[in-house]
Amino acid sequence: MRARTRLATAVGAISLAVAGCGGSDPEDQEGETPTAGGAPEVGTCWAVDAALALDQQYLYDDSAQVPCTESHTTETAVTVPVADFEAATLERVVDGCVNPVTRYLSIDPDSWVPWAYTVLGPSKEEVADGASWVRCDVTFPETWGNVERVRSVTGSASGLADHPPNDRWACLDQPPATMGQPYVPCDQPHNYEETGTAALLTGLDRYPPAAELAVEGRQQCSETVPDGYEDGSVTAQWDPRAALEGNTALWGICFIFNADGQPLPAR
């Protein structure tokens, strides 16, 4: 039995969130309501062990609640009541987390930062006391395109994508096609930097050829280059082929870089 799921890549997150492939919201699920009595409030931050936050076998979370101004690894975007959080109903909750989490972050095609989510249950003590809810928590991946471990952050994630701080922005030293690479500090020179926007292809019945994706990425991403970067080159890191399963839209995260290999300036 899976305790939760995770987005396969930080890039794939946007197609799920914006193209509507993430399933229904928890409050739309039959037999459940959006109110979970005794559950943590939306906006609660947690010091979940970074190595456990995305572990599918980690079911009972007894992590400490901490002020969001202090270091934390997850933040609750929505809580969902369940009759038995160890039963199959949790599988529906997992998919239903996507839309509430993206709304909480203010993720949309014009406002994007690397993000992920996890689903966590009550502690064993809370279950013994009658707790019957799970929480959908926002997390931030430690590496680009590889949601296997989360990092510690400070500050609330509510509406963060509209005005992201430097430490949530995606800056890289290698091309964004290199998955699993660490983020680099945006307040130091770096080679690639997200524009905070995404390219979009819709009405697809097949995965486009690489040449077509490259042209679309350059064309669409060039329209959203930030002020001061007009002389830079752009590229889009597109969702993988699997993103088209049951879907007809494909998203690409826009990045800017210097074609001559010179680093971009610190943000």
**For every one of its 267 residues, what pLDDT tens digit does the chain have, with 9 covering 90 and above?**
223 333 333 344 443 333 223 334 444 443 333 445 689 999 999 999 999 998 877 888 999 999 999 999 999 999 988 876 665 455 667 777 888 999 999 998 888 999 999 989 899 899 888 888 889 999 999 999 877 889 999 999 999 999 999 889 999 999 999 999 999 999 999 999 999 999 999 999 999 999 999 999 999 999 888 777 778 899 999 999 998 988 899 989 999 999 999 999 998
- CA 208 to CA 210: how far, in whole Å? 6
In this structure, the answer to whether residues 153 and 205 fall within a common structural domain is no
In this structure, the answer to whether residues 247 and 152 fall within a common structural domain is no
Model's pTM, two decimal places?
0.82
Boundaries of domain holding 44:
12-161
- Residue finishing a domain among 134, 161, 188: 161
In this structure, the answer to whether residues 176 and 236 fall within a common structural domain is yes
Q: How many domains does the chain have?
A: 2
In this structure, the answer to whether residues 131 and 190 fall within a common structural domain is no
Total length of the chain: 267
Are 105 and 13 in contact by the 8 Å Cβ rule? The answer is no
